[in-house]
Structure 1
Amino acid sequence: MPQAPLDAIVKIETFIISIPRETPYLGPLKDGEFINEKGYLIRKGNRSIYPSTDMTLLIKVTGESGLVGWGECYGIAAPEAPKAIIDDLVGPTLIGRDPSEPMVIHEDMYDLMRVRGFWGGYYVDALGGLDIAIWDLYGKLTGLSVSQLLGGRRHDTIPAYVSGLPRATLTERCDLAVDFVKKGFKCFKFAAAVSDEGIVQEMAALREAVGPDIDLTVDLHWKFEASEAIRLIRRLEQYNLYFAEAPCQPEDLEGQKRVSEGIGVPLALGEEWRTVYEYRPRLEARCMGIIQPEIGHTGITPFIQIGHMAQAFHIKIIPHASISVGIFMAASLQATSALQRVPYHEYQHSIFDRNLGFTTGDMACEAGHYTVPTGPGLGVEPTEEVFDYVVEA
C-alpha cells in the first residue's frame, strides 16, 4: 500500500515581482539604448534584452500542515510565461503530491511536455521554480537544510567573484574594482558587452588597477565566431586571465570545442543550459573547463545532477547568478555547498546587496565570501515588503 503523503501539497501560488532600480543591469544606458514602453532595453553590445527593473517570479507551495515552501525562477523577461505554465498547466497536477519526493516530482513534471519541446525555455524555468519550492517545503518538514537533504554540506562559506562593474567609464570601473579588493574580494568579471574602450584595453586597465594577485575573468556574451574568440582570448592571456566565458553562440557546440582547444585558460559555459541533456554532449566533447549552472533555470534537482556529472569529468563548478530577490540565490548556495570542486560563486553585487533586504535569514556576502544560509529548507523566506512590488499579469 502506498504511504500517505508526509504533507500533501494543497496550494500553489505565483507572484511576478518588479523592483525599480536607478541604474539598469550592466550599467548606464549607452548611446542608442533606451527603455521601451514595456520596461525593457536592448544592450547593443550583445543584442540581448533586459528589464529596466529587477524582475522575477516567486512561487509559493503550501502543504496541508500550513507549512510553506518558497521558490523562484528566472523571470527577467516576460515572467507572465512561466507564471502561466505553473498556474494553468503544471501546478494543478501537483495538488496532493508528497513534497518529500522532489526528484520524483521533477521527473514527472518534466515528462508532462516530453513531446512538445520539453527540454528548454520557459517550461523548464517554471519547473525549476517549483522544484526549489518543493525542496524548501521538504526541508521545513524534516528540519533539515537543503544541503543536508542533498547528502551533506561541504562548505559553510563559498568564495564570491564580483560580477560586473556597472560604471559609465573605464576609470570608474577600475576604481570600483579597487574598492572591492579593499573589501576582501579576490576575483572579478567584466562584461564585454559594455567594454566600449575595447575588451583588451579594459583587461589591461583592470590588471594594472588591482595588481597581479587578483583573478580576472571576462564575459564575452556570445559575441564571437570561434576563430575570433581564440585570437581575442589569446591576447587577454598575457594579463593572466582566469577564465573566459561564453565566447560563441550557445548552440555552437563545435565552436565551443574549437575555442576550448585553442586557448590556454579555462572556458566557462552553461548559464543558459537547463538540463543534463544539454551539458552531457559538451562535457563529452571537452568544450569547457568550468560549468556555470544557473539555478533560476534549472531548479535544485537538475542543478545537483549537473554538478555531479561535471565532477565525474573533473570539471570545476562556478555557478551563475542572475536577477533574483534572493530565493533562488539561497537555493544556489545550498546546492553548491553540497558539491566539491567549487572555487567561486558569482556575486551580482548590484542586485544581491539591495535585494538581500527582501529575505529573512543569515545569507550574506562579505569580505569575499558568501555565507550559506542556515536553518531548515533554503534558510530564507521573502519578507512582506517584497509583495509591495507584485505586478499583475
Structure 2
Amino acid sequence: MPKNFVDAIVSVETFIISIPREVPYLGPLKEGEAINARGYLIRKGNRTIYPSTDMTLLVKVTGESGKVGWGECYGIVAPEATKAIIDDVLGPVIIGRDPGDAAVIHEDLYDLMRVRGFFGGYYLDALAGVDIALWDLTGKNLNVPVSTLLGGRRHDTIRAYVSGLPKATLKERCDLAVHWVGKGYKGIKFAAVVSEEDIVKEMAALREAVGPSIDLMVDLHWKFEAGEAIRIIRRLEPYNLYFAEAPVQPENLEGQARVAAGIGVPLALGEELRTTYEYRPRFEKRAMSIVQPEMGHTGITEFIRIGQMAQAFHMNIMPHASISVGIFMAASLQAASALQNVPYHEYQHSIFDRNLTYTKGDMASGEGTYVVPTGAGLGVEPKEDVFEFVVRR
C-alpha cells in the first residue's frame, strides 16, 4: 500500500437502533415505576431515566474506496440529539478528511464547540461514535486490528465480570449469581439501585451463595452522600468486597476523594466521564483506584489516553459496558487489549449475548472471559438484521 494512501471520507450516516426486550435494563419494574409514552422509565433507586428497549446509535463512515467504518455511541436516551449533532455538525465537517488522522480529527472536532461549553454530554457522545468509525475504517484500510494501531495487543482474552442480577427477589438474584459462577465467571457485581431490601443484607446473602473465592462488587449508582457511602462500604468490607462503584454524585469530586480515602477497598468510577480533562483532577486527588472508561462516551482516542494516564497513576482499568449492539463493545475490547492493568472488563450479560447475534465477527464471551475480536479494524460489523430495528420517532 502506498505510504501516502488516503481513503478520503465521502459520507457519514447515522441510525437509531431500538431492540425490544422483555425485562428492562436492571431488572423488573419496581412499585411506582412505569414505562412512559416515549418508552422510558425512571428507576426510583437512583432517580435516573433508562430506555425500556436496547437503544443505541450506529455511525457509518464510508471512504472513497467504498470501504466502511462502523461506530456506535451512547444513545440510550434522546438518541435524536446525538444523531442531529453528527448529521448536522460533525459529519459534514469531516467529508474529505483522511480517516487515518482519527486522533487529529478528534481534537479538531472537540475544538469546534469547546468555547460554547460543549466539552461533555451529547456532543462528546456524538464525537465518540464518529471517532470509533474512523479507527475502524483505518484498520480495514491497513488490514490490521485497532489494537495494532494503538501500539499492539497484550491480551487476546480479558476476564469478564458479570454485571447486574436482574431478578425481582433476593433469592432469585442469589440463584442467578450461582448460575454465573457455575458457568466459570469469577466476578459478579450487584446493583444497589434495585437492592431495596438492604444493600448489606444483599451482599451477605450473595457471599453465602457464591462462596469465599468469587470477587463480589457493588454499584452504588451515585445514591449517597460521602459519609453515608463510607459507612455503607465499611459495613460491606467484612464480606470481602472487591470494589465499590459510583458512591456519590458524579460532579462531587470532593466527595469521591473523601470516600476513596475513607474506605479499605478499591473505589471504582468514571463511566460518566468522557475526557482526560475530566479524569485528570480525579487522578490527582486519588479519587479512585479503578478507572471505568465507557467507550460509548469516550471513543477510542480518549479511551486509550485515559487508560494510559491511569497506568501512569498506577491505577487499574476495568472498562464500563453499556447498552449497545456490540460495535462500541468491540472497540472497548480492542483498546483494553492494548493496555496493561486490565484485571476485568464489565460484562452486561442481558445485553451482550443477545445483541451479539446482530454482529459479524469472532467477538465472544464465555467461561469468564471475553475473546477480543481478531479481524481488521474493530473485527466486527453489524449484520443487516439489526437495521430492522431502525427507528425514526
TM-score under structure 2 normalisation? 0.99
Letter in 2 for 1:355: N
Give the Å deviation of 1:5: 5.9
State how far apart, in whole Å, the 1-side matches of 2:145 and 2:214 are.
33
Q: Counterpart in 2 of 1:12?
A: 12
Q: Counterpart in 2 of 1:267?
A: 267
Give the Å deviation of 1:236: 0.1
Letter in 2 for 1:76: I
Give the Å deviation of 1:196: 1.6
Q: Counterpart in 2 of 1:230?
A: 230
1:1-393 aligned within 5 A: 6-393=6-393
Give the Å deviation of 1:392: 1.1
Letter in 2 for 1:90: L
* Deviations 1:215-241 (CA, angstroms, capped at 9, x unpaired): 000000000000000000000000000
Q: Percent identity?
A: 77
Instruction: Give the secondary structure class of the aligned counterpart of 1:338.
Output: coil
Letter in 1 for 2:223: K
Instruction: Give the secondary structure class of the aligned counterpart of 2:71.
Output: strand
User: Structure 1: which 5+ runs fail to align?
Assistant: none
* Deviations 1:314-361 (CA, angstroms, capped at 9, x unpaired): 000000000000000000000000000000000000000100000000
* Deviations 1:290-316 (CA, angstroms, capped at 9, x unpaired): 010000000000000000000000000
State how far apart, in whole Å, the 2-side matches of 1:183 and 1:93 are.
47
Relative to 1, partners in 2 of residues 1:317 and 1:224: Cα closer, same or farther, differing over 3 Å? same
State how far apart, in whole Å, the 2-side matches of 1:363 and 1:228 are.
40
* Deviations 1:68-108 (CA, angstroms, capped at 9, x unpaired): 00000000000000100000011100000001111001000
Instruction: Give the secondary structure class of the aligned counterpart of 2:236.
Output: helix
Letter in 2 for 1:201: K
State how far apart, in whole Å, the 2-side matches of 1:254 and 1:375 are.
43
Give the Å deviation of 1:6: 1.1
Q: CA RMSD in A?
A: 0.8
- For the 8 Å contact 1:5–1:98, the answer to whether it is kept is no
Letter in 1 for 2:371: T
* Deviations 1:15-49 (CA, angstroms, capped at 9, x unpaired): 00000000000000000000000000000000000
Instruction: Give the secondary structure class of the aligned counterpart of 2:99.
Output: coil
Letter in 2 for 1:67: K
Give the Å deviation of 1:118: 2.4
- For the 8 Å contact 1:57–1:83, the answer to whether it is kept is yes
Question: How many residue pairs are counted as aligned between the two chains?
Answer: 391
Instruction: Give the secondary structure class of the aligned counterpart of 1:171.
Output: helix
Instruction: Give the secondary structure class of the aligned counterpart of 2:22.
Output: coil
- For the 8 Å contact 1:234–1:263, the answer to whether it is kept is yes
State how far apart, in whole Å, the 2-side matches of 1:4 and 1:316 are.
38
Give the Å deviation of 1:4: 6.4
State how far apart, in whole Å, the 2-side matches of 1:202 and 1:361 are.
38
* Deviations 1:179-199 (CA, angstroms, capped at 9, x unpaired): 110100000000000002110
State how far apart, in whole Å, the 2-side matches of 1:92 and 1:334 are.
27
Give the Å deviation of 1:146: 0.2
* Deviations 1:248-305 (CA, angstroms, capped at 9, x unpaired): 0000010001100000000001000000000000000000010100000000000000
State how far apart, in whole Å, the 2-side matches of 1:75 and 1:307 are.
23
- For the 8 Å contact 1:59–1:70, the answer to whether it is kept is yes
State how far apart, in whole Å, the 2-side matches of 1:100 and 1:261 are.
42
State how far apart, in whole Å, the 2-side matches of 1:46 and 1:254 are.
20
Instruction: Give the secondary structure class of the aligned counterpart of 2:159.
Output: strand
User: Structure 2: which 5+ runs fail to align?
Assistant: none
* Deviations 1:357-378 (CA, angstroms, capped at 9, x unpaired): 0000010000000000011000
State how far apart, in whole Å, the 2-side matches of 1:386 and 1:261 are.
45
Instruction: Give the secondary structure class of the aligned counterpart of 1:42.
Output: strand
State how far apart, in whole Å, the 2-side matches of 1:131 and 1:117 are.
20
- For the 8 Å contact 1:5–1:97, the answer to whether it is kept is no
- For the 8 Å contact 1:120–1:274, the answer to whether it is kept is yes
State how far apart, in whole Å, the 2-side matches of 1:120 and 1:101 are.
22
State how far apart, in whole Å, the 1-side matches of 2:5 and 2:158 are.
35
Letter in 2 for 1:93: V
